[in-house]
Structure 1
């Protein structure tokens, strides 16, 4: 609002209040002069006519007939306007009108409001650290009217910066104001006080709120110092104690960790001292001491070496420990130990002795043959001892020397027994499958060790028999044809024995017929006599 409008408005208020004081009956109002109320609080105006002996009535209104924004309570000779809570709508000149019988009277009062509810707040752009610029901010929330506000920042009772907020605004509102100051802390600032002070002029009287904070000045951890007892070079089974210290403010928290092969760190301890007992080779490596506080981190490394005899000897075979004859293979050996072990390759002989082959990490065999199969030995050797590892190399070849036979012959007669047998000269043995071929489909035979027995051969058993021998490298096929012959002529079916039996049967059958005939006749006569029967024919 322009300043000239404020002056005119203020003058009209005074004239209005002077007019409102004129009365025929004495009216009292409390407070007498004006009211200063804080937004959000509860406030009340009381109008009374203690000398009225007649009928009495009260009414309240604002200068410009705005809503009262309050509740009126009238009891006897008093009337109270209660504003709860006080808000911007309550900033008016209020008029209390009284009727006492035929007499009337009025009394006016001005209500002014403000907002200054909280102490100032101190905020930092970062943790204050020695040697690094930092900004401190004094914040005063929910202030009205801001044109009557002053903020001041002090350090150890010395003013750093201050500001008045004299701007006028058209809209009534609570505002948050702040004041900032940037400086570089030193060690001398440790423990000194930062003061944020806000002053609001209320009814020409200053109201001051203050917040004081003792500065916590930080110092980032300085280079850690490591001590190792007894030494960084150790023997397997030894113990070692490592102590780390680092300066900073506040005092850094010390931790110990070990660097892993993948670059990560394995946390070991949150104490300044790390003790390792019964050291092993895998305890060798880089150990890290780290000092940490709220403003920084610093670290120091130390390397421990544990000397041990060769151990954990390993062998890798490329492409595989099972190979096809004629291919090449690389066998690589590694062994842990300190100092680094020397590698020696040998082949184990049948008598158990070792045949030295090479002193390289990698042993290469080219154009392998089946006699290269066997057990190969890698030894890791240093001054402290020997450690060895074995690997078995298997050289395979595709099936060969496959033989398929029929016993006693590939040509048999019906009723004979025949054995079909398949053998392979490979070492190790290959898979053998016997089949009987047919146009309608092959039949897999149930063989034992590559042999299939046909008992009492029939004509249907004749045909092509196939042997299939295969392994991971390849396969080989062999086939034979079995011929099953029938009997050569009919005499084979009518031997001399059968002929005798045939003749005997030709005589017996008629005789049996004669006996049956006479038996029937005897039955007809009631008796039968072989003698009488013969006589009758003479």
Structure 2
């Protein structure tokens, strides 16, 4: 066989194989799927890919099937982009790869379903029945529209209607109850059954009602000098305003009232008493009371003596330890200075120390230490002094008048006698 003939035959075989490799590839349109559904006003991006290679490179041509002009070339390049989708963009789009005469089709369905609008009365009142409407003013293509009402995740009502490109609305009648509905989300879902596309809208139900459940919280232990955090909260709509006051007394200037319903400050004994928290809004007012019992002391501790500081031997003496505190101090400790102990014959009882017969060993400084339940202590001191007995002395005062009187009388008598005797002698 001629060598030239073999060479030509070999070349033809190579070209035939290369041509067969070109036909192996596939044309793919992304996003994948034979039919795409897009909304009016959205954007659309279609990308065409060929999975093999073409001699001389790959080119792409996009066409849209038009019933009047058959196939119209609308774009060259692998990507077809529509920035704002319109109803007229609906149709069948074809991507061609000329080097292999291969095409791929995709159908684009364009729908129009506007955002639903929920309408209801502005002021929702407790224990009233209201009508809530959900509507849309643009639906395409015409068909069955399914509407569903939800409160949270619970379906309340479902209904179907036929649409014909005109606005459509659905109304839900609901009896309002603040415990069941206030602050809850009510949702409307519109669904085009033909295309299985939907839109939803929701509103929060705000039901006007007066304050309720005025709750006051205070610390379990209230002690003088400790920080106070007292709070008052209430439910209601509109949100209630909180106001604190002290019953029958001015508000303590060292306690601060805050807009969020809290009261802060350092506690003082005078803070004990009854307080009222009032919650109010446009629908009404409600109050609650709390009593503060502030523990304090001990303070102004002192010792009171039944006989004063000076006492005679053998007398009865009672010492009483008093202190201002709340609740009353229960722990008393008696001692003497500097021994720090009491004579053995003395036995104190709470705040009392009784000495039935006072003697020299009882003389001295007495100390009373009081300890409150809050752990604070205070001491008081009292000095008791024994009075020394006075010595008995004979008083000369009663003899002096007698001596003077006697002298006068004796003088008179002696004088008289002497005068008589003198007169007799002169005769």
TM (normalized to structure 2)? Answer: 0.51
- Judged with a 3 Å threshold, the aligned counterparts in structure 2 of structure 1 residues 124 and 384 are, in CA distance, closer, same or farther, namely closer
Name the residue aligned to 1:9. none
> Is the contact made by 2:117 and 2:201 (CA closer than 8 Å) also made in structure 1?
no
CA distance in 2, matches of 1:162, 1:379: 73
Q: Secondary structure at the match of 2:331?
A: strand
The superposition leaves residues 474-524 of structure 1 with CA deviations (integer Å, 9 ceiling, x where unpaired) of 6422357999xxxxxxxxxxxxxxxxxxxxxxxxxxxxxxxxxxxxxxxxx
Name the residue aligned to 2:52. 142
Structure with max Cα Rg: 1
Q: Secondary structure at the match of 2:289?
A: strand
1:311 partnered with 2:212: yes
Name the residue aligned to 1:18. 5
Name the residue aligned to 1:375. 274
1:216 partnered with 2:109: yes
CA distance in 2, matches of 1:129, 1:394: 69
1:477 partnered with 2:386: no
Q: Secondary structure at the match of 1:117?
A: coil
Aligned positions of 1:333-412 closer than 5 A: 336-337=235-236, 373-378=272-277, 387-403=286-302
Aligned positions of 1:115-514 closer than 5 A: 115-123=22-30, 128-131=38-41, 134-143=44-53, 145-147=54-56, 151-156=60-65, 157-160=70-73, 179-183=78-82, 185-190=85-90, 192-200=91-99, 208-219=101-112, 221-228=113-120, 231=121, 233-240=123-130, 242-246=132-136, 247=138, 277=175, 279-280=177-178, 283-284=181-182, 289=187, 299=201, 301=203, 304-306=206-208, 308-315=209-216, 322=222, 324=224, 336-337=235-236, 373-378=272-277, 387-403=286-302, 422-430=321-329, 432=331, 434=333, 449=350, 467-470=369-372, 475-478=377-380
The superposition leaves residues 396-423 of structure 1 with CA deviations (integer Å, 9 ceiling, x where unpaired) of 5432242468999x9xxxxxxx999755
Aligned pair count reads: 331
> Is the contact made by 1:398 and 1:471 (CA closer than 8 Å) also made in structure 2?
no
- Judged with a 3 Å threshold, the aligned counterparts in structure 2 of structure 1 residues 401 and 255 are, in CA distance, closer, same or farther, namely farther
- Structure with higher RCO (Cα < 8 A, 6+ apart): 2
> Is the contact made by 1:342 and 1:382 (CA closer than 8 Å) also made in structure 2?
yes
> Is the contact made by 2:294 and 2:326 (CA closer than 8 Å) also made in structure 1?
no
Deviation, 1:141, is: 0.9
CA distance in 2, matches of 1:238, 1:324: 51
CA distance in 1, matches of 2:284, 2:47: 70
Q: Secondary structure at the match of 2:327?
A: coil
The superposition leaves residues 181-212 of structure 1 with CA deviations (integer Å, 9 ceiling, x where unpaired) of 3345420232x111122344xxxxxx533221
> Is the contact made by 1:291 and 1:297 (CA closer than 8 Å) also made in structure 2?
yes
> Is the contact made by 2:298 and 2:370 (CA closer than 8 Å) also made in structure 1?
no
CA distance in 1, matches of 2:40, 2:264: 68
Deviation, 1:214, is: 0.7
CA distance in 1, matches of 2:350, 2:265: 35
Q: Secondary structure at the match of 2:3?
A: helix
> Is the contact made by 2:26 and 2:52 (CA closer than 8 Å) also made in structure 1?
no
Q: Secondary structure at the match of 2:52?
A: strand
Q: Secondary structure at the match of 2:40?
A: coil
TM (normalized to structure 1)? Answer: 0.43
The superposition leaves residues 444-484 of structure 1 with CA deviations (integer Å, 9 ceiling, x where unpaired) of xxx9856799xxxxx9xx9986514346596422357999x
Name the residue aligned to 1:64. none
- Judged with a 3 Å threshold, the aligned counterparts in structure 2 of structure 1 residues 115 and 475 are, in CA distance, closer, same or farther, namely same
CA distance in 2, matches of 1:437, 1:383: 69
Deviation, 1:159, is: 3.3
CA distance in 1, matches of 2:321, 2:186: 70
- Judged with a 3 Å threshold, the aligned counterparts in structure 2 of structure 1 residues 336 and 34 are, in CA distance, closer, same or farther, namely closer
Q: Secondary structure at the match of 2:88?
A: helix
- Judged with a 3 Å threshold, the aligned counterparts in structure 2 of structure 1 residues 370 and 278 are, in CA distance, closer, same or farther, namely same
Deviation, 1:433, is: 5.5
CA distance in 2, matches of 1:423, 1:367: 26
- Judged with a 3 Å threshold, the aligned counterparts in structure 2 of structure 1 residues 198 and 482 are, in CA distance, closer, same or farther, namely farther
Q: Secondary structure at the match of 1:188?
A: helix
CA distance in 2, matches of 1:217, 1:383: 50
RMSD in angstroms over aligned alpha carbons? 6.3
- Judged with a 3 Å threshold, the aligned counterparts in structure 2 of structure 1 residues 364 and 215 are, in CA distance, closer, same or farther, namely closer
The superposition leaves residues 75-115 of structure 1 with CA deviations (integer Å, 9 ceiling, x where unpaired) of xxxxxxxxxxxxxxxx7xxxxxxxxxxxxxxxxxxxx6523
> Is the contact made by 2:232 and 2:242 (CA closer than 8 Å) also made in structure 1?
yes
Deviation, 1:216, is: 2.9
Name the residue aligned to 2:399. none
CA distance in 2, matches of 1:275, 1:302: 16
CA distance in 2, matches of 1:380, 1:356: 20
CA distance in 2, matches of 1:137, 1:363: 63
Deviation, 1:215, is: 0.7
Q: Secondary structure at the match of 1:114?
A: helix
Name the residue aligned to 1:114. 21
